Amino acid sequence: MSDELDMGAYRQVFLSESAEYLQGIVDALLTLESDPEDLEPVEAVFRAAHSLKGMSGTMGYERTASLTHTMESLMDTVRKREQPVTGDLIDVVLRATDTLRELIDHEASGGAEVDPELMVQELREHTEVAHRAAAEAAKPAATEAPVAAAAEAGVVTLSVTIESACQLASVRAYMVLKRLRQLGEVVGTVPSEEDIDEGEFDRTFTVSVKTDRPGEKLVDAVRAITEVETASVVESAPEPGSAVIEAPVAPEPSAADAAEMGAERDAAFGRAAKAVPKLADTQTVRIALTHLDEMVDIVGELVIARSRLENITEKIDDHDLNAAVEEVHRISAELQREVMQTRMVPVGNTFNRFPRMVRDLARDLGKDLAFEVDGVDIELDRTVLDEIVEPLVHLLRNSIDHGLEPADVRAAAGKPSRGLVRLSAARERDRVLVTVADDGRGMDVERIWKAAVARGLAQPGERDTMSDDDILLFTCTPGFSTAEHATKVSGRGVGMDVVRAKVEQLGGALAIRSRPGSGTEFVLSLPLTLAIIQALLVHSSGHIYAIPLGAVTEVLAYDDLPVGTVDLHPVLTLRDGRVVPLDTLDAVVGLDEEKRSPVRSRNIVLLEWGEMARAIGVDGLVGRQEIVIKPLSGMFAGVRGLSGATVLGDGSVALIIDPRALFAGGEASR
Amino acid sequence: MATIRVLVVDDSALVRQMLTHVLRDAARIEVVGVARSGVEAVAAVRALEPDVVTLDIQMPEMDGMEALRLIVRDSDARVVMLTSVDDPETTFKALESGATDFILKPREGLATSIDRLGVDLVRAIRAAYAAAPEKRTRTTAPVNPSVPHESSAGGDPERVVCIASSTGGPLALDRVFAGLQPDLSAAFLVVQHLPVGFAASLAARLAKVAGFPVSEAQDGMRVTAGQGYVAPYGTHMRIAGSPGKHTRIELAPGPAIHGLIPAGDPLLESAAETFGTKAVGVVLTGMGSDAAFGLLAIREAGGQTIAQDEATSVVWGMPRAAVKIGAAQTVAPIDRVAVEIRRALRNGVSG
């Protein structure tokens, strides 16, 4: 078994698994820093270092094994409370993690440049300090310390209920007790710990913890454990020992009840057999993204070929052929869905690198802030996700550097001195909204408006036609920056144009919302996937166009709704009373040679983008179809309002309308 | 022969993959499941009822020690711990808690690691499978550490007691050494099949329960009466010199015997040659047939021989082989072995 291929495969597993552990270490350290009294993350760091040590040993990566060994030893001293968690300690371990990341890359590729020895020494020194302190503490006088600490601690009694579906209630209970021991001293349980261990409790047990932590913290910690249904504080006593624990009053189960319960339990075990991860279930294959890209291309071609086949079938109209083609349709649709699914990854995969970055940045800039990350399970196409990293870095940097005021300014304004920066993802129809928000000073719309006018980007008279949000988007104009910000190293405006361009290039849109004094929100609205979309095919002046179905709200016959004119421009009055501009498709894509009136259109397609709507007149509808987006080239490359082209079933080319661009001109109504 | 159904428990995907890979190629072994934490392990043992579980120690949610306790309590699965070289203490604790055997996580580079696992892990799994579930936990009271005996510097030993053990050996040795009196006429030599780095730790444990010095043997070391010696990893241990004169330890790498280095045979055979009637041979629990011929050599040289009985052996392999070829004069349960050794030493003195 010295097959090169296997070796390479193991190396891949090693690399991706160590990346996970490294991320886990960083996450845990940051959690630890936010609450240095709760030692749960210390366990995670210790375990990760230990696992990395074992793995690198197995691979024969001696330097990595040595560095992780010293990290493990250091964390062991923290775990045993031989030294407190300090900013310095977290710093040194974070730096060790950086070294480790570099070292793993080098050692795994056979390189010898990275020498961890200095880092190893530094970690050893930190470990030694703790050992000396522990030795000191072991001397007789030290026994006073814990007693003094205990005097301040109260006893909190929690009632904890395990989910009824839980197969291993005693195991979960063990985890609850273990977690609570990280937060204090477990002084008693009802029923006894032995009974709980034997599973001799009816889903609910109480546990008393001597701790200086608030009861809610304990409750939160316990609720975070899998299969814990509820946890609540039943008693909180300031003095240790004064807590009265009342046993839950429950009738003794009769023998028959017990037998029945046993039978239920056995039945439940039978089901459990399916839930346990079998070898086959847990096996994964790692595929290079290039393979997936290729698969998407091929599936795209399959979709096109399928459409052509469907066209031909329509003409022949043979029953058997129809059935077979329908089958092909179903199968290829399934294949397509699966392939696209393989490209979807949780945004957390990328978001998880930000807490560390935000921490370092906040430290550098002397800002005190809390960083929240939400919606990490939301999935997004891998390519889209990769592309938005840079824009997000920029937006986060902006929020921390310029959005958040200094602590004294915040305090003076009556805000909490600790700032808040939030990064979140949410699914909305076929789009994912990624938001970077802060609770800082906000942006001054009037100042931006004046700057926009001064630069000739807007006419003073237009002020009333523009919303605040529109005005904020002026900050995304290249070179735009307000006087106040220009004095800083990097103003709000710098780089925002790049952010917007990148988001739009991905088929997304950027929106800014801000209220002076209470914060700013940047919302990236992104497509789930890039390659294949559902589209409405229409024709206009002999061309076929594809309109992404996500933007289409309604398709009307021309005389379904009343058409009128406002300022000589045709408008459509919707059922809800809104009046929206009506244009021919030719006009909106700027290919309107005949200058036809939309009045001659046979159908009207109603598009909505965000809160805006507009009506597009077309010569006719072709149908609804999945299309594969190919980039535009040649004569159409610069045409406004088009985002790409696609090849149709009959081999002809359809242009894809970019609904976002249709709404960017400000002609649309709200 | 039945297939051994194995559950692999480790939080590292790399290790899980290596273990399942190695076991896939082993005859009569089937990996029926994998688990990534103690909690998953306990659930998987319940659902899959594996014969043998390979268990990691450091894991999220519930560590291997706690999972071990529950697995031993609630199922018949035998547990092989995967431990790291720098943690013999936890390993011995795991054995006390009912683990049948343990192996080291390999750390010599990928190719060697896989080769080593292919040998050590498969051997340990087969040995564990051979052990009866009810022998996993001790029903007898735990050994009380002995009060240290006054140790006067002994001279060359008049007699040697040579003990060979394997699977289940560390705990069996505990019980034997706890029952030994420091006999200033005899030295105690032990070959226990252990991974690298564990001999010193085992010696320290035995010293604690015996109350007399026990150390990891070194090449050329003088053998002193009233003391114990544990063979280190990677070399065979032999005894040289003669009763009462220049008794010393010889360590030689030599070829593996029964696939083992150290093996019990070389020690027992050398004791038969050098000490003859003044040698006592003991074969304790263990898989395979190591030390049977060594024990026979001692018996044929006029020495005294003891084998552990079937009921108290975790795996009645080595003692059975010895009994089968007629090498064992006495067959005794583990709690009687120390008594038999003391009797043999007395017999030797009187006879």
Residue B187 sits in the same domain as residue B65: no
Strand pairing class (A579-584; A612-618): parallel
Highest mean pLDDT among A62-76, A635-649, B297-311: B297-311
User: What six digits make up the tokens of A399?
Assistant: 């929020």
Q: Provide the pLDDT confidence category of residue A86 given band limits of 50, 70 and 90.
A: confident
CATH number of the domain enclosing B184: 3.40.50.180
Q: Residues of B with catalytic annotation?
A: 166, 193, 290
d(CA A514, CA A405): 15
B117 with B189, same domain: the answer is: no
Confidence of residue B191 (pLDDT cuts 50, 70, 90): very high
Region B194-213 average pLDDT: 87
Any B CB within 8 A of A279 CB = yes
Lowest mean pLDDT among A630-634, B62-66, B242-246: A630-634
Contact A279 B39 (CB under 8 A): no
Q: Answer whether B87 touches A (CB < 8 Å).
A: no
- Whether the pLDDT of residue B144 is over 80: the answer is no
pLDDT, residue A271, reads 37
* Domains: count for chain B: 2
Note the pLDDT of residue B55.
94
**What pLDDT was estimated at residue B283?**
96
Which class in CATH covers the domain with range A148-237?
A: alpha beta
Active site residues of A: 50, 72, 398
Per-residue pLDDT reduced to its tens digit, B244-270: 888 999 999 878 888 888 999 999 999
> Which of residues B183 and A431 earns the better pLDDT score?
A431
In angstroms, what separates the C-alpha of B131 from chain A's closest C-alpha? Answer: 25
State the CB neighbour count (10 A cutoff) for residue B184: 19
Is the pLDDT confidence value at A387 over 60?
A: yes
Distances (CA, A) of A316 to A310, A322, A329: 10, 9, 17
Instruction: Give the pLDDT confidence score for residue B138 in this predicted structure.
Output: 53
* CATH number, span A4-137: 1.20.120.160
| Three-state SS at A111 | coil
Instruction: Take residue A354 and report the two structure tokens written for it.
Output: 């930000």
- Residue B33 in contact with partner chain A when CB distance is under 8 A: yes
Highest mean pLDDT among A228-237, A293-302, B241-250 belongs to: B241-250
B260 plus B200 within the same structural domain: yes
Q: Determine the distance in angstroms separating the CA of A364 from the nearest CA of chain B, rounded to an integer.
A: 34
Among A543-552, B112-121, B289-298, the range with the most confident prediction by mean pLDDT is B289-298
Whether residue B278 is predicted with pLDDT greater than 90 in this model: the reply is yes
**Per-residue pLDDT for B274 more than 50?**
yes
- Is residue A490 very low, low, confident or very high in pLDDT (cuts 50, 70, 90)? very low
Q: Do A17 and B59 touch (CB under 8 A)?
A: no
- DSSP 8-state assignment for residue B62: S
Quick: pLDDT tens for A19-30: 889 988 998 988
Mean pLDDT, chain A, whole residue set: 77
Asked if residue B335 and residue B257 are part of one domain, the reply reads yes
Distance from CA of B47 to the nearest CA of A (A): 5
Taken in order A563, A565, A571, A572, the sign of the CA dihedral is negative
- Residues paired with A582 in a beta bridge: A615
> Which residue intervals of A35-86 are DSSP H helices?
40-59, 62-79
Highest mean pLDDT among A111-125, A232-246, A275-289, B52-66: B52-66
Nearest C-alpha in B relative to A12: B14
Q: Is the pLDDT of residue A614 over 60?
A: yes
What pLDDT, on the 0 to 100 scale, is given for residue B209? 87
> To the nearest whole angstrom, how far is the Cα of B99 from the nearest Cα of chain A?
19
Q: A346-527, what's its fold?
A: Heat Shock Protein 90 (3.30.565)
Residue found by looking up tokens 């949410």 in the block: A426
The answer on B12 and B88 residing in a single domain is yes
Q: What is the rounded CA–CA span in Å between residue A128 and residue A73?
A: 10
DSSP string, B201-230: HHHHHHHHHHSS-EEE--TTPBP-TT-EEE
Query: What is the spatial distance between Cα A568 and Cα A558, in angstroms, rounded to a whole number?
Result: 19
Output the average pLDDT for chain B. 87
The Cβ of residue A76 has, within 10 Å, a number of other Cβ atoms equal to 16
Domain assignment of residue B152, yes or no: no
Residue B180 has pLDDT above 60, yes or no: yes
Segment A629-644 mean pLDDT:
64
Can you give the pLDDT at residue A297?
73
pLDDT (0 to 100) of residue A459:
82
Residue A607 has what pLDDT? 85
Q: What pLDDT is stored for residue B60 in this prediction?
A: 80
- pLDDT, residue B113, reads 79
Dihedral of CA atoms A66, A69, A71, A72 in degrees, nearest 10, equals 170
So what's the pLDDT on residue A128? Answer: 84
pTM for the whole structure: 0.60
Contacts with B, A 167-226, CB within 8 Å: 167-168, 170-172, 174-175, 178, 226
Both B11 and B113 in a single domain?
A: yes
- Full residue range of the structural domain in which residue B234 is found: 159-350
**Cβ–Cβ under 8 Å, residues A496 and A472:** no
Which of the pair, A32 or B283, is modelled with greater confidence? Answer: B283
**φ and ψ at residue A410, rounded to 5 degrees:** -65, -45
DSSP string, A167-181: S-HHHHHHHHHHHHH
Mean pLDDT of A539-557: 84
Look at residue B143 and tell me if it is in a domain: no
* Least confident range of A155-169, A564-578, A588-602, B51-65: A588-602
- Please answer yes or no on whether B112 and A60 come within 8 Å at the CB atom: yes
Interface of B with A in 44-63 (CB under 8 A): 44, 46-48, 58-62
C-beta atoms of B47 and A272 within 8 A: yes
Q: Are residues B125 and B261 in the same domain?
A: no
- Nearest-Cα residue of chain A relative to residue B104: A54
Do residue B169 and residue B316 come from a single domain? yes
User: Exposed/middle/buried for A140, CB within 10 Å: 0-12, 13-18, 19+?
Assistant: exposed
Query: Residue B299: is its pLDDT beyond 70?
Result: yes
pLDDT score recorded for residue B53: 96
Domain harbouring B87, CATH code: 3.40.50.2300
Q: Where are the beta strands (DSSP E) in A602-666?
A: 603-609, 612-618, 620-628, 642-647, 653-657
CA nearest B337: which of B174, B159, B216, B149?
A: B174
Residue A248: the pLDDT is 41
Residues of chain A with C-beta less than 8 angstroms from the C-beta of B14: 10, 13-14, 17, 55, 58-59
Distance (Å) from the C-alpha of residue B271 to the closest C-alpha of chain A? Answer: 38
Q: A489 pLDDT exceeds 80?
A: no
Looking at the fold, whether B112 and B185 belong to one and the same domain comes out as: no
Looking at domain A532-664, its CATH superfamily turns out to be SH3 Domains (2.30.30.40)
What pLDDT shows up at residue B258? 85
Per-residue model confidence as pLDDT tens digits over B1-31: 689 999 999 988 888 888 888 898 888 999 9
Q: Decide if B88 contacts A202 (C-beta within 8 A).
A: no
Please report, for residues A396, A451, A581, A598, B132, the alpha-carbon distance to residue A565 in angstroms, rounded to integers and kept in the order given.
Answer: 45, 35, 9, 11, 93
Q: How confident is the model at residue A264 (pLDDT cuts 50, 70, 90)?
A: very low
Q: Please report whether residue B303 resides in a domain.
A: yes
Query: B145-149: long-range contacts at Cβ-Cβ below 8 A with a sequence spacing of 24 or more?
Result: B145/B178, B145/B208, B145/B209, B145/B211, B146/B178, B146/B209, B146/B210, B146/B211, B147/B211, B148/B211, B148/B212, B149/B181, B149/B182, B149/B211, B149/B212
Two structure tokens written together for A159: 């009632």
Q: What's the mean pLDDT in B86-93?
A: 80
Instruction: Identify whether residues B85 and B36 lie together within a single domain.
Output: yes
Task: Say yes or no: A245 contacts chain B, CB-CB below 8 A.
Answer: no
- B242 burial via Cβ count (<10 Å: 0-12, 13-18, 19+): middle
* B216 and B314, same domain (yes or no): yes
Cβ–Cβ below 8 Å for A1 and B111: yes
- DSSP 3-state assignment of A101? helix
| Interface residue B181 vs chain A (CB under 8 A) | no
Contact flag B62-A277 (C-beta cutoff 8 Å) = no
pLDDT digits (tens, 9 = 90+) for A35-60: 888 888 888 899 899 888 888 888 88
Nearest Cα residue to B264 out of B289, B229, B301? B289
In a domain, B147, yes or no: no
Mean local confidence (pLDDT), B59-79: 89
With 90 as the cut, is the pLDDT of residue B341 above it?
yes
Q: Are residues B232 and B278 in the same domain?
A: yes
**Band of residue B295 on the pLDDT scale cut at 50, 70, 90:** very high
